[in-house]
Structure 1
């Protein structure tokens, strides 16, 4: 099969339309449309339903994972044949839960791009918990940044240690210059991101229950993670954020305090047991180096 078929097919999948895919590929719309028709003729089935956009059929959905895997295999073969010492081109697909996108993923990507500017990175949001492993199992992503410990099996894991969470209060909030106690959570308005079911939220609820305290009062609960910090800065309520986001909030005027209780949550990069692509291996190397000061271990779970 012509590699061009798979490249054009995945561009339409990722962009959602022929026109957007053509812009990304810097080709004409008829060229991309003709390629999709040629691929459908070769496979003997429709891959998309045409309407206001391009929606995948059952056959199209079945092709996405193998198509991505095939392109990665072709890239790996090309790199091996050329015996290049540095990654000069290619793509890397990463899945990430929303509360790890800023810290540590943004920093890891920045360091990776400094070293390998020829690699394009595509990041997709995945659900927290076991459902986040679906894309990894199907081959839609190569690396997954998720919380630990999950109950998934069959994946390799590079532990990145623990991520501290901090109390973040609206600008101008009056609070003593001391750590935040669990009792201080009660009676305040809080904004909750998409955290239910995570290790951090479960751990916090367990600590509150152990002290006979009620769960925190969420005046706003939103699945849109990007809303949380603006709402805090607008004075709607406080939030419990990972350290990277809390540092950003403090620079923007929020009042930030550490907790006197142990509230960190672990996080790790997961990948399939078969050989990762050169681009993925290079990203794992950057992740290992970024955690030199912590105990980093790899194991199969």
Structure 2
């Protein structure tokens, strides 16, 4: 059904005459008459009884009028919903965030700003290590993520440097290293380490292992944790020391002391915001715009 003709029909009914209705809908009366006749021909019914003193609705016309309001209202609601989706004002954005960065202030502020700017968009955040994030970005099960990236970014991804960071030494609060931190990383070979298994995040594991090898460090691993939060919990319990990104300070349990070392500061552990270049979701594009408009990343 032609919604324009339906709109004209409602105007004629509510105004009570063709002349008044033509003024309301801003078309000439002859054109309006033709549109009403066209609607009747399409429906193969008479909608009005026409007589010298005006027009009255037929039974079919009354039935159409009772439904017309709902049809026009539903049409407006559908159009408004489609416009909102097309502009990214509604919908959903799914994000991965590395476990260590869920509490980083820059990310928390970004999420809060997006919620303020787009309150009708559902925001789903998943704590995921960098490796699983990359896999889910490739398959499209998340829209974007905050993660570590290799120097060569996969072809299917686009990325934006979001936050600079570097490595730090994490030791139990009661460790002698608190009072006498080592000058060189190789001095840590004599200490027990808490570390993570390679399969949980191969990119992160290999990156750190290669860097430690250059510095002459071969960690003596006595305990493993699935992620940095678990690792820091084991450090706090006195089971060993570890080396983690500096941003882990934001999610660390009590009992862990962090030590900055010149050699560790040189290892870039920056976080990138990345998304699948084939994902054209308007809501995601709005999120990307906010990320790219955030202040330039500073070293944490």
**Normalising by the residue count of structure 2, what TM-score does the alignment of the two structures yield?**
0.58
Would you say the 8 A contact 2:168–2:243 is kept in 1?
Answer: yes
1:268 paired residue among 258, 266, 272: 272
- Superposition deviation, residue 232 in structure 1: 1.8
Q: Give the greater-gyration-radius structure (CA).
A: 2
Within the alignment, does 1:166 sit opposite 2:171 as a pair? no
Change in Cα spacing, 1:164 to 1:210, as seen in structure 2 (3 Å) is closer
- Superposition deviation, residue 202 in structure 1: 3.2
Q: Which residue of 2 aligns with 1:144?
A: 145
Deviations 1:171-205 (A, max 9, x none): 22222465763123212222223566655543443
Change in Cα spacing, 1:214 to 1:292, as seen in structure 2 (3 Å) is closer
Would you say the 8 A contact 1:145–1:267 is kept in 2?
Answer: yes
1:241 paired residue among 227, 244, 250: 244
Q: Which residue of 2 aligns with 1:215?
A: 218
1:193 paired residue among 191, 196, 213: 196
- Superposition deviation, residue 216 in structure 1: 0.6
- Superposition deviation, residue 151 in structure 1: 4.8
User: Aligned-residue CA RMSD in angstroms?
Assistant: 3.5
Tell me how far apart the structure 2 counterparts of residues 258 and 117 of structure 1 sit (CA, whole Å).
40
Change in Cα spacing, 1:78 to 1:235, as seen in structure 2 (3 Å) is farther
Tell me how far apart the structure 1 counterparts of residues 80 and 220 of structure 2 sit (CA, whole Å).
55
Q: Which residue of 1 aligns with 2:74?
A: none
- Superposition deviation, residue 143 in structure 1: 0.7
Q: Which residue of 2 aligns with 1:122?
A: 124
Q: Which residue of 2 aligns with 1:95?
A: 96
Q: Which residue of 1 aligns with 2:288?
A: 284
Change in Cα spacing, 1:234 to 1:118, as seen in structure 2 (3 Å) is farther
Would you say the 8 A contact 2:138–2:156 is kept in 1?
Answer: no
Change in Cα spacing, 1:200 to 1:264, as seen in structure 2 (3 Å) is farther
Change in Cα spacing, 1:114 to 1:174, as seen in structure 2 (3 Å) is farther
Change in Cα spacing, 1:278 to 1:186, as seen in structure 2 (3 Å) is same
Change in Cα spacing, 1:225 to 1:168, as seen in structure 2 (3 Å) is closer
Within the alignment, does 1:258 sit opposite 2:251 as a pair? no
- Superposition deviation, residue 152 in structure 1: 1.6
Partner secondary structure for residue 96 of structure 2 = strand
Would you say the 8 A contact 1:96–1:126 is kept in 2?
Answer: yes
Would you say the 8 A contact 2:168–2:261 is kept in 1?
Answer: yes
Partner secondary structure for residue 234 of structure 2 = helix
Partner secondary structure for residue 265 of structure 1 = coil
Deviations 1:136-183 (A, max 9, x none): 233211112221225521222112253222111112222246576312
Partner secondary structure for residue 164 of structure 2 = strand
Q: Which residue of 1 aligns with 2:43?
A: none
1:205 paired residue among 209, 216, 229: 209
- Superposition deviation, residue 257 in structure 1: 0.7
Partner secondary structure for residue 163 of structure 1 = coil
Unaligned stretches of 5+ residues in structure 2: 1-78
Q: Which residue of 2 aligns with 1:113?
A: 115
Unaligned stretches of 5+ residues in structure 1: 1-76, 296-301
Give the length in aligned residue pairs: 215
